[in-house]
Amino acid sequence: MNKIAKLTLCCFMFLAAEILHAHGASGAVKITYGHGFMPHTPQARAAEEFKKRVEKESDGSLLVDVFPSGQLGSAREMFESVQMGTQEIALLPTARISGFSPTLQIFDLPFLFPDKKTAYRIFDGEVGEKLLSTLENNGVKGLAVYEDGFKNFTCNKKIEKLDNFKGLKFRTMESPIIMEQFKALGANPTPVDFSELYNALQQGTVDGQENPLVTIASVKLYEVQKYMLLSNHAYLGHVFLVNQDWFNGLDDKEKEIISRNAKEIASWQRELVAQEEMGYLEKIKQGGTVVLELSQDERERMRGCMENVYRVAKDIVGEELLNLVTNSIGK
């Protein structure tokens, strides 16, 4: 066999291997879906619901393998895997992927959404589509926004008012807007990977952190935090994203099944979170964490000190986009 024939054969074998990886020996499209949530959380159950519906509606031509609990790596690593096409789908927090698409940091703004209903209206409408479209510059397509819910502060020192935050070390994600939020509160923001959060709190590396009830309960932060302030100060969303080239290569029916179910299950998952939030709160209380209420006066004080956070946001996402979002909310 001459060199040209050998080269042609090698190329053919490589292409065949790629096709088998994507479609499997049976011809079915194999889909890898990764996320960082513990089993039995609403987000993990949503991934399993997606698998069930997609496989049923496609008569088995779409096969979904779900990998929970960060089995495929950190949020950054999973995003990069989706970019490269070694992973087709991921469900990732907006704050953890904002380095790839800075405009998504707008979701991190404190006191932006007055309630969940307003957040859903923004996410599911034209403004949400415009924000998600910024991911396409990275070879990734955002199909829907899922939720953790509104974040609350926990700490090993009593935090009932703005003055209590001064000098405390709070774990934060690597989002400039979130870090600026803690500076505005008088605290010291300290970036810590989520996988190291429990130990950082246990060892006193940081005094506190912020997360929605579902996260605080599911990873048992109540074991290492004495107090929780019900602040509901900022919304934490997760983007359902896919590799753009892979998605574009599907036939119209496959695209419709995946896109529609991503959106429908986002609504299903939000309802599940709402149904279970009181249970999460009770679990946190039973775990020994003292739950404190944020008074309306203190809420207004906190809101009032966030002007610089919004200035930072304007520099990151642009004045036009920031105004579009705030005007759509009605601020």
For residue 21, what is the domain's CATH number? 3.40.190.170
Q: For the residues 105-119, what does the mean pLDDT come to?
A: 94
Classify residue 224 by burial, with Cβ atoms within 10 Å: 0-12, 13-18, 19+: buried
Torsion angles phi and psi, residue 111, rounded to 5: 60, 30
Lowest mean pLDDT among 7-11, 59-63, 125-129, 300-304: 7-11
Q: ∠ CA 273-180-321 to the nearest 5 degrees?
A: 70
What is the arithmetic mean of pLDDT over 315-326? 94
Which amino acid would we find at residue 156?
Answer: N
For the cut 60, the answer to whether the pLDDT of residue 22 exceeds it is no
Dist CA 180 CA 234 (whole Å):
13
* Angle at the Cα of 197 from the Cα atoms of 159 and 190, rounded to 5 degrees: 65
* Phi, psi (rounded to 5 degrees) for 201: -70, -45
Euclidean distance between CA atoms 259 and 143, whole angstroms: 6
Phi, psi for 81 (deg, rounded to 5)? -65, -40
Single out the residue of 231, 233, 153 nearest to residue 189, CA to CA.
153
pLDDT at 26: 59
User: pLDDT category, 118, cuts 50, 70, 90?
Assistant: very high
What distance, in Å, lies between the first and last C-alpha atoms of the chain? 72
pLDDT score, position 7: 44
Q: What is the pLDDT of residue 16?
A: 42
**What's the pLDDT at 18?**
45
119-130 mean pLDDT = 95
Check residue 331 and give its pLDDT: 63
Other C-beta atoms within 10 Å of 270: how many? 21
Between 2 and 275, name the one with better pLDDT.
Answer: 275
Supply the pLDDT for residue 217: 96
pLDDT value, residue 187: 98
Helix axes 116-123, 319-329, angle to 10 degrees: 130
pLDDT recorded at residue 1: 53
Can you tell me the distance from the alpha carbon of 162 to that of 229, in angstroms, rounded to the nearest whole number? 11
Q: What percent of the chain has pLDDT over 70?
A: 92
Q: Which of 110, 119, 89, 112 is nearest to 153 (CA)?
A: 110
**Tens of pLDDT along 161-212?**
999 999 999 999 888 999 999 999 999 999 998 889 999 999 999 999 999 9
Does the pLDDT at position 261 exceed 90? yes
Nearest by Cα to 168 from 176, 184, 179, 157: 157
Q: What is the mean pLDDT of the chain?
A: 92
249, pLDDT greater than 70: yes
Question: Residue 167's closest CA among 175, 178, 157?
Answer: 157
Would you place residue 99 in the very low, low, confident or very high pLDDT band (cuts 50, 70, 90)?
A: confident
Residue-range definition of the domain harbouring residue 283: 3-329
Q: Are strands 208-212 and 140-155 parallel, antiparallel or unpaired?
A: antiparallel
Rg (CA), the chain: 22
How sure is the predictor about 330, in pLDDT bands with cuts at 50, 70 and 90?
confident
Alpha helices in 149-237 (DSSP H): 176-185, 197-203, 213-218
H-helix or E-strand containing 66?
strand 62-67
Count of structural domains within the chain? 1
Given a cut of 80, whether residue 235 has pLDDT beyond it is: yes
Residue 10 binned pLDDT confidence (cut-offs 50, 70, 90): very low
Backbone torsions φ then ψ of 185, nearest 5 degrees: -80, -10
Alpha helix (H) residue ranges in the chain: 3-23, 42-57, 75-84, 94-97, 116-123, 126-133, 176-185, 197-203, 213-218, 244-248, 252-286, 296-304, 307-317, 319-329
With bands split at pLDDT 50, 70 and 90, how would you rate the model's confidence at 21?
very low
In this structure, of 5-9, 117-121, 155-159, 212-216, the range with the lowest mean pLDDT score is: 5-9
